[in-house]
């Protein structure tokens, strides 16, 4: 039984590193379902997933910084908004209904799965995004990151998918830069959320550390791999991740 436990943690760690390293998305779609299946409290699986995201993103951010495919200012702007939102979210967690937020998140993610996969087949066409003044685009990104942070505080979603959505909407950059920037923002969001869950005692530290260490190694190599492949494959991989998130959310909503 103990051997199976550690094998599952190994598999989770590799998968989380791959997802974060290539797409800049959270490993929540892997960590939460598997740990829940192993009988761990649902809130604890969320807190554990956030701590795993904190650990994993550090190495991914390092690689993207080294490759100069990360916009620090945009990442910090989104991250600051998310930190504020996460604190607000933890405050109103027992007041705001979670279901409407999850439904909206699921619907938007479904659209993003269509958008990214479709985008991968039309790479030569100009990407559509809001034509905003640069300063206003940063301000809009900051404001949009606040509800993303609130989702972190309320339901533990560290926002990788949503940060990518904001970047696609407001800014123009290559897929690799988009992933690196979203990962930096996710680090701040996940850190704020993890602190909140640690405060209420809902983190399984052994699992988080073991998964995180494995994901560090996996994320390093998959981050390097992401810089060697065509952008269209990153978009397609993103699309698949978005679809898995949608399926995961539908199952979670149906069960809860």
What's the domain range around 48?
2-255
139-181: pLDDT as tens digits: 999 999 998 888 777 766 677 778 988 998 888 888 889 889 9
91-115 burial, b for 16+ CB within 10 Å, e for fewer?
eeeeeeeeeebbeebbeebbebbeb
Q: What is the pLDDT of residue 176?
A: 85
Q: What is the pLDDT of residue 174?
A: 84
Q: What is the pLDDT of residue 97?
A: 64
**Residues lower than pLDDT 50 in the chain:** none
E strands, 67-221, in order: none
CB atoms within 10 A of CB 177: 19
Q: What is the pLDDT of residue 129?
A: 56
CB atoms within 10 A of CB 33: 16
The residues, ordered by sequence, that sit 6+ positions from 21 with a Cβ below 8 Å of its Cβ are 60, 63, 218, 219, 220, 221, 222, 223, 225, 226
End-to-end CA distance of the chain: 28
Number of domains observed in the structure of the chain: 1
Nearest to 192 by CA among 51, 31, 44: 51
d(CA 17, CA 239): 17
Nearest to 86 by CA among 229, 188, 217, 216: 188
Q: What is the pLDDT of residue 14?
A: 93
């Amino acid at each position: 039984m103990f051997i199976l436990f550690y094998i599952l943690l190994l598999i989770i760690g590799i998968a989380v590193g791959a997802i974060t390293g290539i797409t800049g998305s959270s490993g929540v779609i892997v960590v939460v379902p598997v740990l829940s299946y192993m009988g761990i409290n649902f809130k604890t699986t969320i807190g554990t997933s956030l701590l795993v995201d904190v650990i994993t993103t550090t190495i991914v951010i390092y690689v993207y910084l080294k490759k100069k495919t990360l916009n620090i200012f945009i990442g910090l702007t989104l991250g600051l908004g998310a930190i504020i939102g996460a604190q607000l979210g933890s405050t109103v967690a027992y007041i705001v209904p979670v279901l409407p937020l999850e439904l909206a998140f699921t619907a938007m993610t479904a659209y993003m799965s269509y958008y990214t996969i479709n985008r991968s087949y039309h790479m030569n066409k100009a990407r559509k995004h809001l034509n905003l003044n640069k300063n206003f685009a940063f301000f809009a990104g900051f404001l949009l990151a606040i509800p993303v942070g609130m989702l972190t505080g309320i339901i533990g979603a560290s926002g990788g998918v949503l940060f990518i959505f904001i970047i696609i909407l407001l800014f123009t950059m290559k897929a690799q830069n988009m992933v690196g920037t979203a990962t930096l923002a996710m680090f701040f969001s996940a850190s704020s959320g993890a602190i909140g869950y640690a405060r209420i005692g809902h983190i399984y530290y052994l699992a988080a550390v073991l998964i995180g260490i494995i994901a560090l190694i996996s994320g390093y190599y998959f981050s390097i791999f992401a810089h060697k492949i065509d952008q269209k494959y990153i978009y397609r991989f993103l699309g698949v991740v978005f679809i898995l998130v949608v399926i995961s959310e539908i199952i979670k909503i149906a069960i809860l």
